[in-house]
Amino acid sequence: MDYYFITGTSKGIGKALAEAILKEENSYVIGISRNVTIHHPHYHHQHLDLSDITALRNNLHKVFTFLEKPDKIVLVNNAAVLGEVSYIGSQATDNFEFVFDVNVIAPAILMNTFISAYHEQTCPKIILNISSGAGQRSMDGWSAYCASKAALDMLSLTCQKEQDLLGSGVKVYSLSPGVVDTAMQEHVREAESSQFSEIERFKALKENNELQEPETVGSKIMKLIKHYQKFNDVILRIDSI
């Protein structure tokens, strides 16, 4: 059995990916999110709010349970928040903590526990972090989000270097999925133009049907996971798959 631990499975890319995986006969999904929107005999839901770090730490033992002779184990850190779209100096101070908890601290804790829990398993082990092009390009009004995704990229690079030195065989990727038609994009389009200079471009992407569907991205992620040996770079873009 292939086991997938996926955060943010209630909607968007996470839900699309989980549903694609569940079409495979030999796959089981452990979904980590606040709401249940998937019902399948091979789906187990773990209710967690990733902005509540204390609750996450207290429930890790419920997430990464013992697995009997797995064929493959995959962790997908998909859940993320954009946070408040506003300039530094005009946003709530707790916005930074909120965004970094969900986008960096929670993935780091899950990666750490995943590797610790399954280090003795000899099957393929893959960590896939869903990053963003915003982690490599500054976007005004998105300071917390851009910084958090840059941190996630470096976390992925460092983790892979460590696993290579240990010879563990763990593969780590940080994937930028491109612009996808999700609730996050709706949030972007509701921003004030005075706090985000590129808002008209993002509105045009929706109006011109240039946003990718979550299902399309989910299928490409499946391709990456199935053929991970072909991808040597840690930092990847969806158009390279």
Query: Quick one: pLDDT at residue 121?
Result: 97
Residue 10's pLDDT band, with cuts at 50, 70 and 90, is very high
Question: Can you give the pLDDT at residue 198?
Answer: 94
Paired tokens of 152: 């996630």
For 176-231, how does the pLDDT look when each residue is reduced to its tens digit (9 = 90+)?
999 999 999 999 999 999 999 999 999 999 999 999 999 999 999 999 999 999 99
Paired tokens of 66: 């013992």
**Residue reference for tokens 């994937």:** 175
Rounded Cα distance between 182 and 191, Å, is 15
Domain layout of the chain by residue ranges: 2-178+215-240
At 208 the pLDDT is 95
Return the pLDDT at 127: 98
Entry pTM: 0.96
2-178+215-240, superfamily in CATH?
Answer: NAD(P)-binding Rossmann-like Domain (3.40.50.720)
Identify the bridge partners of residue 129 per DSSP, sorted by sequence position. Answer: 77, 174
Q: Do residues 27 and 42 lie in contact, with contact meaning Cβ atoms separated by under 8 Å?
A: yes
